[in-house]
Structure 1
Amino acid sequence: MIIGIGSDLCNIERIQASLDRFGDRFIQRVFTEIEHKKAEKRPFTRAGTYAKRFAAKEAFSKAVGTGFKAGVYMKDIGVVNMPSGAPTLHLSNGAKARLDALTPPGHAVDVHLTMTDDHPWAQAFVILYARPL
């Protein structure tokens, strides 16, 4: 059963402006080390890579119904890739606690994430699916 769904549309130029203005301070506050390494390997699409991940964090916060409050922080939501290459989310701290609180007893939650970008936009969708154990 679907227990949460969220989407977000992010302007890549806005992320580029934040990178230009705040640099590492912005990166360290918002993104995980894995996300940072991924983006820095892509010099021609660096801002788009960050923007997709920013959108994924926003989409997750909507899927769990809190936004960035109630202990859910951007840095606790990290985009990672499964062995197949498909993106998913690695959650920690308040983000993980919020998802655990939404998970029905006797279920596990699969996080489905899709991201795309077409300058100047980046977009992400998150579906939280509870499956019986």
Structure 2
Amino acid sequence: MIYGIGTDICDVRRIRASLARHGERFAHKILSEAEYATWQARSARWPERGIRYLATRFSAKEAFSKAIGLGMRMPMTWRACEISKLPSGQPVIVLHGELKSWFEARGLSAQVSVTDESDYAASFVVVEKN
């Protein structure tokens, strides 16, 4: 049974501007430790790819927060929600701390899809009650 659906589109230029204004503090606020390490590696090789990575994570977390119906209120936080990937490349949501406990207590599962183009990143999340 569907619990919630969330979608988000993010202007990559807005993420680029926030990164220019706030530096790595912005990335630290949005990304989990694992995501941050990936962002640093991608940014070092190709800065634009790093910006798009950050935009897709921002978008996916926004979509997830909408799908669970909390928005960005506790226990939903940027860093408690991680967008990882399976060996196949399929994106998956990995939750941490209080958010993980809250999500599991409700018997929920989530599917996520992310995409990006030069100027936009978009995400779609479906949360189901098991």
Q: Do Structure 1 and Structure 2 share a fold, with TM-score over 0.5? A: yes
Which position in structure 2 is the counterpart of 1:87?
A: 91
Residues of 2 paired with 1:102 and 1:55: CA distance?
24
> Where do 1:66-105 residues align within 5 Å?
66-103=70-107
Q: Which runs of 5+ in 2 are unaligned?
A: none
Separation in 1 of the partners of 2:3 and 2:100? 15
Q: Which of the residues 52, 65, 89 maps onto 1:48?
A: 52
Q: CA deviation at 1:65?
A: 0.1
Question: Would you say 1:22 and 2:22 are equivalent positions?
Answer: yes
Distance in 2 between residues matched to 1:82 and 1:129, nearest whole Å:
20
Is the Cα–Cα contact under 8 Å of residues 106 and 129 in structure 2 kept in the other structure?
Answer: no
Identity %: 35
Asked if structure 2 preserves the Cα contact closer than 8 Å seen for 1:73 and 1:94, the reply is no
Q: What is the TM-score of this pair, normalised by structure 2?
A: 0.87
- The answer to whether the Cα contact below 8 Å between 2:80 and 2:97 also exists between their aligned partners in 1 is yes
- For the residues of structure 1 that align with 2:66 and 2:102, how far apart are their CA atoms? 12
| Gaps in structure 1 of 5+ consecutive residues | 104-108
- The number of aligned residues is 126
2:60–2:123 contact (8 Å) kept in structure 1:
yes
Distance 2:74 2:25 in 1: 23
Equivalent residue number for residue 13 of structure 1: 13
1:38 equivalent in structure 2: 38
- Residues 3 and 102, structure 1, Cα contact 8 Å, conserved in 2: no
| The structure with more helix, counted as a fraction of residues | 2
RMSD over aligned CA atoms reads 1.5
Q: Which amino acid aligns with 1:12?
A: V
Runs of 4+ in 1 over 4 A off after TM superposition: none
